[in-house]
Amino acid sequence: MRVVIAEDLALLRDGLIRILEAYDFEVAAAVDNGPSLLPSLLEHRPDVAVVDVRLPPTFTDEGLQGAIAARQKIPGMPVLVLSQHVEPLYARELLTDRAGGVGYLLKDRVANVAQFVDAVRRVAAGGTAMDPEVVSQLLARHQPPLAALTAREREVLALIAEGRSNAAIATKLFVGEKAVSKHISSIFTKLGLPPSDDDHRRVLAVLAYLDV
């Protein structure tokens, strides 16, 4: 599985390369600035891109902009954002693009290597990998639509947005899958969204509806 990395910090970039190669990924390229990202993605067409948000020269949102531009030219290119920051404006554009896997993890909240590698593989396979804090910040900006949800339904919604299956949600909340299905049905009814068994589609539908 081929990966392109965009990370300006040399030690972290080298660490990502070593970790991914140790888990049988092929690192096709590792760039350290925004202008190099798009050409690299277009040249190598990786199975997944691992991208920091803020890259030189301006350290604003070059990473996200480069990833979005690449997906416009290569629809469905999987992108995993690995950053210290949540950038709502461009996060919305990336997360509501229904083609290809997407993820958004915060660097200081990645608990271990296995968790990170699992997220990379999940996104490469077309799924989602969302840090709960990212989900919380995005959803917190839109309280009115969520006002109708119960506390439990909010928990379930956050877990849906992380890309978890019904079974995984049930395990996390120590309830049965039937209870989870009922909560999800209620959530989509209250938010005016059609139910879906496709985790990726339903996450993007929720985020699109909430206009993150």
> Could you tell me the pTM of the whole model?
0.74
CA distance 106 to 163: 16
The pLDDT assigned to 196 comes to 61
Q: Measure Cα distances from 117 to 37, 54, 184, 190 in Å.
A: 21, 22, 28, 35
Q: Could you list the pLDDT tens digit for every one of the 212 residues in the chain?
A: 999 999 999 999 999 999 999 999 999 999 999 999 999 999 999 999 999 999 999 888 899 889 999 999 999 999 999 998 887 766 777 777 767 888 899 998 887 899 899 999 999 998 888 887 777 676 666 555 667 788 898 888 888 877 788 999 999 999 999 999 999 888 888 877 766 655 555 665 666 555 54
Q: CATH for 137-209?
A: 1.10.10.10
Class of 2-130 in CATH: alpha beta
Residue 190, classed as helix, strand or coil, is helix
pLDDT (0 to 100) of residue 178: 93
6 Cβ contact partners less than 8 Å away, ≥ 6 residues apart:
30, 31, 32, 34, 36, 37, 40, 49, 50, 51, 52, 55, 63, 66
* DSSP codes of every residue in 101-162: -EEEEEGGG---HHHHHHHHHHHHTT-EEE-HHHHHHHHHT-HHHHTTS-HHHHHHHHHHHT
> Distance from CA of residue 71 to its chain's centroid?
14
Q: What is the pLDDT of residue 210?
A: 56
* Domain definitions of the chain by residue range: 2-130, 137-209
pLDDT at position 212:
46
pLDDT at 197: 59
Q: How many CB atoms lie within 10 A of CB 2?
A: 15
In this prediction, residue 37 carries a pLDDT of 97
Structure letter (DSSP) for residue 91: H
pLDDT at 200: 57
As given in the structure block, the two tokens for residue 82 are 């690995």
